[in-house]
A and B are shown apart, each in its own frame.
Chain A
Amino acid sequence: MSMPVDERGFFGEFGGAYVPEMLYPNVKELQERYVAILGERGFQDELSLLLRDFAGRPTPLFEAKRLSEGLGCEVLLKREDLLHTGAHKINNTLGQILLAKRLGRRRIIAETGAGQHGVATATVCALMGLSCVVYMGEVDMKRQALNVGRMRLLGAEVRGVGSGSRTLKDATNEAMRDWIANPHDTHYIIGSVVGPHPFPDMVARFQSVISQEMREQCLTRGGRLPTHVVACVGGGSNAMGGFFHFIGDDGVALVGVEAAGCGLASGRSAATTALGQPGILHGSRTLFMQTEDGQVEEAHSISAGLDYPGIGPQHAHLFATGRVRYVSVTDTEALAAAKLLARREGIIPALESAHAIAALQGLSLSGADRVVVVLSGRGDKDMATYLEAFGEGISDGV
């Protein structure tokens, strides 16, 4: 294990399972059974086959030559955007749906921000014939209307959440309330490395296939590990997946990219490590943006998938220990990076992944560096945002 969790679910001082008694039996059942179930030969075989034949793994490690030229170092893109449903989220939902079946659950609930996790959950529920309810903030339903339609076409019920900031944080609250009301037949597929233990560890394990492949692909290609791994961080699941098997390699710099939104000082941002404080949110002790009175602050990012006021407990720990360096990128920088990638490499990235691309500029890279960027998702879902943001200038050069 590259990221050990203790028996109470802590990574250093972060993690744990802060859930009301109503959820205790469900969480305890997961805690007691997840390691054994994930370790079963039959489970692993079934998951591997689905990851290969249904999701499309392994994903390529693509050498982005024109981007490399511009930056003066080798840039490799881990193409999670090529997965079925368009993002890394399917790695986790396939794993959790197999787990839910083994636990005898027939109903699945999920929260979603950008809609990618919702789509990935609706997809595996259709595949397995389980009923599916996805909670989504009303603000996000509007800006990710395409994904709402995809979920519905796949047979999921999408429930709009009108409370609080009407985004991912509130969708997560509402999903937890649903689980409290339906503990017997329902499994909650959390979409990121957040929530009570064992979710952060379990989701990280399911996403760790990303760095497992990256490691092999890097060694096959020139026999050396990357010098940098760069990934965006909302809750932090693609980043945990991308960092997982490199955490023990001191020579590999790990960079998490948070959304600065309108700027760190603007009051409209989602840069948790820069602006957050330790506290308890959504069942774990972690870092999140909060007032002096301990009220959760609303996040802002142009990217719905990064629009979350906290990060998962592993990231809080990796930040506290200094193993991962966290930087932030504004909405404007992310938009420019999306256009850059489209023009230089013929890839329209998700707005989330565009944050990771944008961060490359600031890393003072040199000729000997080999940078792997986790391209967590594709940009189809963000076309409405791109059209609105670029306007007439969409055809202009970069």
Chain B
Amino acid sequence: MACSRFEQLPSGRKALSVFFTAGYPRLNDTVRVAEALQAAEVDMLEIGFPFSDPVADGPTIQESSLAALGNGMTVAELFRQLEGLRRGGVTVPVLLMGYLNPLERYGRERFFADAFRCGVDGLILPDMPFDEYRINFKPLFEKYRLRPVFLVTSRSDDARIRDFDAEAPAFLYVLSSDAVTGGRTDVTGERDGFFRRLREMRLKSRLVVGFGVSDRESFAAVTRHTDGAIIGSAFVRAIAGLPEGETGEASDLAALRKAVSAFIGGLR
């Protein structure tokens, strides 16, 4: 495996990854949100490319997706915006996350090629079946040096988790509970038991917990037995009400930076 930005992830502390929707709250906010998150010392970024029918997402991400589509966000527009991502000084690992249909409509190989060209490090495609990954997608991940990510739940059996682990994913996206994004995490023994089970499997992949992680308390709780956590809906809510900037197609930059830094500061 080639050296990648994922190797730079911190070893001493738990990784904080943040998800946000491209083109939200305003069309041209994508790269500016990424830069503000990097400035706030977030370890990894997940940029959602919006879909009209996001079945694995709760109301917050659904609404941000529809708002982004309303702002004019498309896959083509996203790649146009991301051309400036690495030039603007974003050095942390960046993944794109979304549903298969917009990706396939754009063109499978074209999507991978553009992601590679823009300096994207990996893709999270929740509705990509594993058998389809092996048949159709794996060669593209390899060709364009992108890393896949696989979701695991407490009901994923060991053999399946080991199959995921063997694919050298950027990390295993560990679901904290049975729910769509934005739900609440119950701090229960059952969940800790699941995390311990994963830990005891001695997997090669990092374990990063997502879905239902929203604040300092839940971040600390879910990372006790894992390597990091992803915050999505709570962050999307935190930047929802930003004032308009000069162009109207972007939010006020000072307000955006302030909101991002205040939210991230509250987590650590």
Contact = CB atoms under 8 A, between A and B. Distances in A.
Nearest to B150: A21
B130 to A, nearest CB: 8
Interface string B61-77: 01000100100001110
A295 interface: yes
B102 A293 contact: yes
A51 to B, nearest CB: 32
A322 interface: no
Interface in A156-172: 163-164, 169-170
A170 B66 CA distance: 13
A191 interface: no
B35 to A, nearest CB: 25
Nearest to A288: B101
A57 to B, nearest CB: 34
A390 interface: no
Interface residues of A, number: 34
A173 B66 contact: no
Contacts of B53: 164, 169-170, 173, 281-282, 296
A20 B150 CA distance: 10
Contacts of A170: 53
A68 to B, nearest CB: 43
A64 to B, nearest CB: 40
B153 interface: yes
A129 interface: no
A19 B102 contact: no
A294 B105 contact: yes
B126 interface: yes
Given A16-B132, A18-B128, A19-B129, A295 B51 contact: yes
Contacts of B183: 181
A22 B75 contact: no
Contact of A21 (B75, B99, B106, B126): B126
B131 A279 contact: no
Contacts of A277: 105
Interface in A13-54: 16-22, 24-25
A19 B151 CA distance: 11
Interface in A259-284: 277, 279-283
Given A20-B151, A181-B183, A294 B101 contact: yes
A294 B103 CA distance: 8
B158 interface: no
B102 A180 contact: no
Contacts of B105: 277, 279, 290, 292-294
4 closest pairs, A vs B, by CB? Answer: A294-B105, A294-B102, A21-B151, A293-B74
16 contacts: A18-B127, A21-B152, A163-B59, A180-B55, A180-B178, A181-B183, A182-B178, A183-B178, A279-B104, A281-B53, A281-B101, A282-B55, A294-B51, A294-B103, A294-B105, A295-B69
Given A20-B56, A21-B151, A22-B56, 19 more contacts: A16-B129, A20-B127, A21-B153, A22-B178, A163-B66, A177-B55, A180-B56, A181-B178, A181-B179, A183-B155, A183-B178, A184-B178, A279-B105, A280-B104, A282-B53, A293-B102, A293-B106, A294-B104, A294-B105
